[in-house]
Amino acid sequence: MSTAAAEPLAYLATQARWGKAEIAFWLATLLPFVLFPDYLVLASQIAITALFALSLDLILGYAGIISLGHAAFFGFGAYTAGLAAKWGWGEPLSGLLLAGAAAGLLGYATSVIISRFRHLALIMITLGLGLLLAEAANSARWLTGGADGLQGVRMWRLFGYFRFDLYGYTAYAYSLAVLFLIFLMCRRLTHSPFGLALRGIRENAIRMPAIGAPTRAHIRKVYTLAAVIAGIAGALLAQTTETVSLEVLSFQRSADVLVILILGGAGRLYGGIVGAIVYMVARDQFSGINPQYWYFWIGLLLIAVVMFLPNGILGGLAGIMARRRKATP
Amino acid sequence: MIGPVFGVLFDGFAYGMLLFLLSVGLSVTLGMMNFVNLAHCSFAMLGGYVTVTLIDKLSWPFLATLPAAFLAAALASVVFERVLYRRLYRASELDQCLLTIGLVFVSVAGAAYIYGSEQQPVQLPSYLRGSVTFLGVNFGVYRLFLILTALAITAVLMVALDYTRFGAQVRAAVDNQRMARGLGIDVDGSFAITFALGSGLAGLGGALAIEIIGLDPSFGFAYLVYVLIVVSVGGLGSIAGSFIAATLIGISDVAGKYYVPELGAFLIYLVMVGLLMWRPMGLYGRR
């Protein structure tokens, strides 16, 4: 009896072990400080986008909830942090927590709706809620500044010492640290029995209740958590750029983060981070061309990924590795 | 007092008919194959650009360009269906969403590359311009033309679906695809035809839409939302549902923008989320 019970836990334990590649990856994230000091602003943007993609990965990659309106939480967090700073509380860390809490509350409220639907209705409701919030922010000009964006966001020094400089030293260190901490949390979460239950929901949402798993409660929990993380990512963007525009709530941002996650590979934590690096670096390199044409290539890329690389870059790499291992036993 | 109310109702109904033309094809194909085709409005945009090009470059009369817009969108959709879509019928909704969003991105960028990002003007013939006054209310001639066209198409669709052999096959496939296959109905073949017809109607809608809502490269995205709202509110695979939902959404959108302009599109999204929470399968959805 006890061995049977121990097996899943042993499986989780082997999954949770840190690999060399993982440690090397996180050490490599420190390289921009030394190698590309001119690109630290971009690096901080990548870290923020990666955090946002990570939050989508929790619900999409693990629980299988398709969301076309995830920017709602990102934007809600960004406006919360931005408004807090505008109204005289520019302390970054507490602003971050405040934004996470606010986005989490919104996430919990919507999760009650989300957990009841699947398939097309779910896609439509996430899309509708995202648009609803974007339109509300556009209408509430007195609060958000409307299309002009939120002006007058002034951040205090981080820990009362590190100023948010123009070169992005503080911004990157701050964003990277937040990303790493939240990544650790997500890693622990996905390697827990709860994470396994989420994957069960993704694979077969009808069979899970039959084995006694409270599917809806699980979905509510993970959706709220993803909302908190997305809110924190939005707050990071607001704090490091000291401005908030309506774009943070736009459908484009929801679609972008979906593209990033799919490009990297959903359901494997690093997918969002790898996707964010590839996407943001490519966009920075091609920033000379008109953004409309940039989306032409993104569209082609999406078609190609769906047709030829259904598990993203990381999934493709894992497939190649597995085939090699089989060839040379 | 009565005048403005009727005017709003009339404009809203005309707008609703436009939404119906744009969305009815998607509703039926979604109901048949459960294929989430987010690129539906890109076919509508294609129809619009075909009309603009034919009028500007070849100086065709407006009415003659409408069948051309229909045919162009239908032909393009057949190509995409054969080459890309049919590989993904059994794939997950996420993959279908992503592929078709990719197509939308490509079509939006392609339209911007060829035609530039400005609004495309359309020269209407003189007999479609102006308005007639009836009982003290102004009715735009073009909107009347639009309403009559849409009503005629609705009637043809309803009759064809209810009384022809092909219509019966389509209804069977929407109701129960597996059972229909079991009875020897060529579901894939009738789906391909339905898909082409639906996209053609979207192309026609795109051509008719230029005068009312304009045409620029963002069309594929901007009206996708409205089309999806109509489809999900009306219920998949239901022509009557799409008709009623389109009328409802059209009137509430125009009325909302007229009476409470500060709310913008907020009202319409609220109506959608509310209706979907009340009836997740749409007003006429059966599954």
A244 forms beta bridges with A150
Flag if A310 and B95 touch (Cβ within 8 Å): yes
Q: Is A127 helix (H, G, I), strand (E, B) or coil?
A: helix
CA B231/CA B275 separation, integer angstroms: 12
User: Is residue B286 pLDDT above 70, yes or no?
Assistant: no
CB atoms within 10 A of CB B123: 13
CA B269/CA A123 separation, integer angstroms: 14
Q: Is residue B287 part of a domain?
A: no
Query: Residue B38 is encoded by which pair of tokens?
Result: 């987010």
Q: Is residue B88 part of a domain?
A: yes
Q: Is residue B164 part of a domain?
A: yes
Q: Is residue B237 part of a domain?
A: no
B131 forms beta bridges with B140
Q: In this complex, is the C-beta atom of B56 within 8 Å of any C-beta atom belonging to chain A?
A: no
pLDDT value of residue A320: 83
Query: Which of the four pLDDT bands, split at 50, 70 and 90, describes residue A1?
Result: very low
pLDDT value of residue A3: 47
Q: Which of B102, B110, B266 sits opposite A303 (nearest CB)?
A: B102
Instruction: Tell me the per-residue pLDDT of A162-183, one tens digit each, with 9 for 90 and over.
Output: 777 767 788 898 999 999 999 9
CA B210/CA B116 separation, integer angstroms: 16
Query: Residue A151 is encoded by which pair of tokens?
Result: 């002006």
Q: What is the mean pLDDT of residues A270-276?
A: 91
**Interface size between A and B, measured as CB pairs under 8 A:** 116
Counting the structural domains of chain B, the total is 1
| Least confident span in A39-43, A181-185, B70-74, B203-207 | A39-43
Q: How far is B118 from chain A (nearest CA, A)?
A: 13
Q: In this complex, is the C-beta atom of B88 within 8 Å of any C-beta atom belonging to chain A?
A: yes
Instruction: Tell me the per-residue pLDDT of A283-319, one tens digit each, with 9 for 90 and over.
Output: 888 766 666 677 888 888 888 888 887 777 888 888 8
Query: Which of the four pLDDT bands, split at 50, 70 and 90, describes residue A102?
Result: very high
A162 forms beta bridges with A158
Q: What is the mean pLDDT of residues A125-148?
A: 82
pLDDT value of residue B3: 63
Helices (H), chain A: 2-16, 20-28, 31-35, 40-56, 71-86, 92-114, 119-139, 141-144, 169-190, 193-203, 207-210, 215-241, 251-264, 270-285, 291-308, 312-327
CB atoms within 10 A of CB B153: 17
Residue-level length of chain A: 329
Q: Is residue B141 part of a domain?
A: yes
| Least confident span in A32-41, A276-285, B258-267 | B258-267
Percentage of chain A modeled with pLDDT above 90:
26
Which chain B residues contact residue A139 at CB under 8 A? 262-264, 266
Q: Is B139 helix (H, G, I), strand (E, B) or coil?
A: strand
Which chain B residues contact residue A258 at CB under 8 A? 98, 101
CA B53/CA B9 separation, integer angstroms: 33
CA B254/CA B140 separation, integer angstroms: 15
DSSP letter (8 states) at residue A18: P
CA B250/CA B258 separation, integer angstroms: 12
Q: Is residue B171 part of a domain?
A: yes
Instruction: Tell me the per-residue pLDDT of B37-65, one tens digit each, with 9 for 90 and over.
Output: 888 899 999 999 999 999 888 888 888 88
Q: Is residue B70 part of a domain?
A: yes
Domain coordinates of chain A in residue numbers?
Answer: 2-250
Q: What is the mean pLDDT of residues A89-102?
A: 89
Instruction: Provide CB contacts within 8 A for B95, sequence distance 6+.
Output: A306, A310, B88
Query: Which of the four pLDDT bands, split at 50, 70 and 90, describes residue A2?
Result: very low
Instruction: Tell me the per-residue pLDDT of B222-238, one tens digit each, with 9 for 90 and over.
Output: 788 888 888 888 887 77
CA B237/CA B165 separation, integer angstroms: 17
User: Phi/psi of residue B35, each to 5°?
Assistant: -95, 120
Q: Is residue B15 part of a domain?
A: no
Query: Which of the four pLDDT bands, split at 50, 70 and 90, describes residue A150?
Result: confident
Which chain B residues contact residue A57 at CB under 8 A? none
Q: In this complex, is the C-beta atom of A132 within 8 Å of any C-beta atom belonging to chain B?
A: yes
DSSP letter (8 states) at residue B259: H
Flag if A307 and B99 touch (Cβ within 8 Å): yes
Rounding to the nearest 10 degrees, give the CA dihedral for residues B39, B252, B205, B286. Answer: 60
Angle at B64 between CA B60 and CA B68, to 5 degrees: 100
Q: How far is A163 from chain B (nearest CA, A)?
A: 39
User: Is residue A282 pLDDT above 90, yes or no?
Assistant: no
Query: Which of the four pLDDT bands, split at 50, 70 and 90, describes residue B96?
Result: confident
Q: In this complex, is the C-beta atom of B108 within 8 Å of any C-beta atom belonging to chain A?
A: yes
Percentage of chain B modeled with pLDDT above 90:
18
Which chain B residues contact residue A267 at CB under 8 A? none
pTM here?
0.84
Give residue B68's domain range.
20-218
Q: In this complex, is the C-beta atom of A205 within 8 Å of any C-beta atom belonging to chain B?
A: no
